[in-house]
Structure 1
């Protein structure tokens, strides 16, 4: 059985999956870096490059290969999901935001190879490769991410980005769907 057919068999039947169903799907897939041919190289000047492995109306599965840059603080819109560290170590920083204020960091934690961590709806976080490791992560979200908000803490602003933009301030004007001025705390 090919990886793609295995992914379709496991993820295809999911309907509005719960937190537990998503994690069980990742465990059942049991994907390793060695399973992923044509892993995208990290993008120049970007925190990661991603490859979509599967997407339907219910879920999306992506693999991300990280550079040494950190992504911007962001949420996942109305999606929730699991992130699995396939190789390397991730430094994940979690934020809280009150009203239309600037997000403030609550804590950060390290996630090593084979670690899973949950990303709740509307939760704000940022990630980066830690200790100069070659970080590769697998992401399973439901529903597929749309309406992601990316934060620029220095400029005290945020924007809703288009679905083709990653967790960084958009390069192209069309990727900024809505800009939001934030209040300093």
Structure 2
């Protein structure tokens, strides 16, 4: 797990393709599977016994309409520069490159918040743009919301804290495959954090304020493992 020093930030929610994503423990899930299997039983195997756990509705994913995205980019030069750089490379950028791009970016928070949204029953992924090599997502949490404990199969991720305080908890697994926390850190606005493919973590909003992070996944997030806690 990487952390980087500071970067800069500066009504009606206009969204497209809203969907609920159901995550399971501890099987591998793709976004396609999440779309077509809205209710999933997931199994936790412990001491050769199987315990059925209820499905947990944790995340809403929307894709911002291209015309709305164009309006956002017109009002946010920092985000425009980031997208232009991402579109200019025909390969998977590394975490050091993403840090360099994110650490000095200035975000028009007012314009961004007009294009993204929050969900009452789980955090929300607002996909700004996606290509073969990257996925740019504004991830939003209301107070008390959190991701499941997860990794990023085949993808790296760097993210800028745009608004609010983001808590990241790092985990390792025991012999039974259950996750236990080893460290936790609070990230302030303008800080950058990054996670490599094998890293197991949880991102949460432990405050009474809203949280917005700007995530870049390289390549786009297509699968992930969800881990049950000890």
Bin of the TM-score, shorter chain as denominator length = 0.7 to 0.9
Report the aligned-residue RMSD: 2.1
Structure 1, residues 91-114: CA drift from partner, whole Å, max 9, x if none? 110011256611211111100111
Whole-Å separation in 2 of the counterparts to 1:99 and 1:35:
47
Whole-Å separation in 1 of the counterparts to 2:193 and 2:132:
23
Is 2:202 aligned against 1:126?
yes
Structure 1's consecutive aligned runs of 4 or more residues displaced over 4 angstroms after TM superposition are: none
TM-score, structure 1 normalization: 0.74
Is 2:146 aligned against 1:70?
yes
Secondary structure at the aligned position of 2:98 is classed as helix
C-alpha distance 129-142 of structure 1, shift in aligned 2 (>3 A): same
Aligned to 1:110: 186
Structure 1, residues 21-41: CA drift from partner, whole Å, max 9, x if none? 112232464334234153433
Structure (1 or 2) with the larger CA radius of gyration:
2
Aligned-residue offset at 1:60: 0.9
C-alpha distance 6-37 of structure 1, shift in aligned 2 (>3 A): farther
Structure 2 alignment gaps of length 5 or more: 1-72
TM-score, structure 2 normalization: 0.60
Q: 1:84 aligns with which of 142, 160, 163?
A: 160
Is 2:126 aligned against 1:51?
yes
Secondary structure at the aligned position of 2:223 is classed as coil
